[in-house]
Amino acid sequence: MIEQGQTLPAVTLSQLTDEGMQTLTNTELFSGKKVVLFAVPGAFTPTCSNAHLPEFITLSDKIKAKGIAAIYCVSVNDAFVMKAWGESQNAQEIDMLADGDASFTKALGLDKDTGGFGGTRSTRYAMIIDDNVVSGLFVEKEKEFTVSRAEAVLEKL
């Protein structure tokens, strides 16, 4: 598993924007700036839709006021699903990233197998990334939702 102080491996992520499909490496996304990234097991799932994403939306101004250039949400879903989920949640403040083949999630060692329920998914976590280096990592234990919450991350900034 990736650890605090390590540089993120270069992996491609997708984002569907009004300009069309964007395919960027995390190096392109995160280099030269300080960002917050949080990962959810799946778009449109209960905890993700009712708490995790909404809390980051609500606290985005306070998080960005701490010197954060952008807030990213990533999930092992396709870019079309991530865009639709972001729109359904009115998440203009959050960049919705798709890790369709779980390559980013696997490269971080933060993948989990949910079997027939959904296959390979991401563990729930949040991280602070400073110039593509992990400066804070907050990985949830199974069935918990405490350390990756927006409020918890805000306290670490």
Q: Is 131 domain-assigned?
A: yes
Q: Is 5 domain-assigned?
A: no
Q: Is 97 domain-assigned?
A: yes
Q: What is the pLDDT of residue 26?
A: 86
Q: Which domain holds residue 30?
A: 12-156
DSSP string, 57-102: HHHHHHHHTTT--EEEEEESS-HHHHHHHHHHTT-TTSEEEE-TTS
| Residue 48 is among the residues annotated as catalytic for this protein | yes
Q: Is 35 domain-assigned?
A: yes
- Any idea how long the chain is? 157
* CATH number of domain containing 145: 3.40.30.10
| Number of folded domains that form the chain | 1
Q: Is 62 domain-assigned?
A: yes
Q: Whole-model pTM?
A: 0.95
Q: What pLDDT tens digit does each residue of the chain (157 aa) get?
A: 999 999 999 999 999 998 999 999 989 999 999 999 999 999 999 899 999 999 999 999 999 999 999 999 999 999 999 999 999 999 999 999 999 999 999 999 999 988 777 789 999 999 999 999 999 999 999 989 999 999 999 999 9
Q: Is 3 domain-assigned?
A: no
Q: Is 4 domain-assigned?
A: no
Q: Is 1 domain-assigned?
A: no
Catalytic residue selected from 48, 70, 94, 153: 48
Residues 6 or more apart from 26 whose CB is under 8 A from it? Answer: 8, 9, 10, 11, 13, 104, 132
